[in-house]
Copies of this chain bind each other. A is one copy, B any other.
Amino acid sequence: MLSVAEALSAVVREIEPFSPATIPLSDALGLLLAEEVVSDVDSPPFDKSLMDGYAVRADDIADGRALLKVIEEVTAGRVPTKSIGRGETTRVMTGAPLPQGSDAVVRLEDTQLDTLSDTVRIDTDPASSARNVMRRGASLKRGDHVFAPGRLLRPQELGALAERGRNAVGVRVRPRVAVLATGDELVPIDETPKPGQIRNSNETMLVAQLRVAGAEPVPLGIARDERTHLSERIRAGLECDMLLLSGGVSAGKLDLVPSELEAAGVRQVFHMVNLKPGKPVWFGVWDAAPDNPAGRQDRRCYVFGLPGNPVSSMVCCELFARTAIRRLIGYQNPEPQQVRAKLSVAHTTRGNRPTYHPARLTWEESEAIVTPVNWQGSADLRATVDANSMIVFRGVDRSYAAGDVVDTVLWDR
- A117 in contact (CB, < 8 A): no
A376: which B residues are within 8 A, CB to CB?
134, 138-139
Q: Which of A312-351 contact B (CB under 8 A)?
A: 314, 339-342
Task: Tell me if A259 is interfacial: C-beta within 8 Å of chain B.
Answer: no
B residues less than 8 Å from A160 (CB atoms): 201, 381-382, 385
Is the CB–CB distance between B155 and A185 below 8 Å?
no
CB-based contact B158/A50 at 8 Å: no
Known contacts A77-B183, A190-B165, A205-B155: does B93 contact A196 (CB below 8 Å)? no
Given A25-B204, A95-B183, A139-B379, 18 other A-B residues pairs in contact with their CB atoms under 8 A:
A45-B198, A48-B379, A52-B251, A75-B254, A76-B184, A76-B252, A79-B196, A93-B254, A134-B379, A134-B380, A151-B385, A154-B212, A162-B204, A163-B189, A163-B199, A340-B366, A363-B368, A366-B405
- Contact pick for A154, options B140, B200, B206, B208, CB 8 Å: B208
Residues of B within 8 A of A380 (CB): 134, 138-139
Residues 139 to 158 of chain A near chain B (Cβ within 8 Å): 139-140, 147, 151, 154-158
User: Hey, which bits of chain A sit against chain B, CB under 8 A?
Assistant: 25-26, 29, 43-46, 48, 50, 52, 73-79, 91, 93-97, 108-109, 134, 138-140, 147, 151, 154-163, 165-167, 183-186, 189-193, 195-209, 211-212, 225, 250-255, 307-310, 314, 339-342, 363, 365-369, 376-382, 384-385, 387, 405, 411-413
Nearest-Cβ distance from residue A128 to partner chain B, whole angstroms? 14
Does A155 lie within 8 Å of B253, measured CB to CB?
no
A50 CA / B310 CA spacing, docked (Å): 11
Interface centre among A208, A339, A379 (most CB of B within 10 A): A208
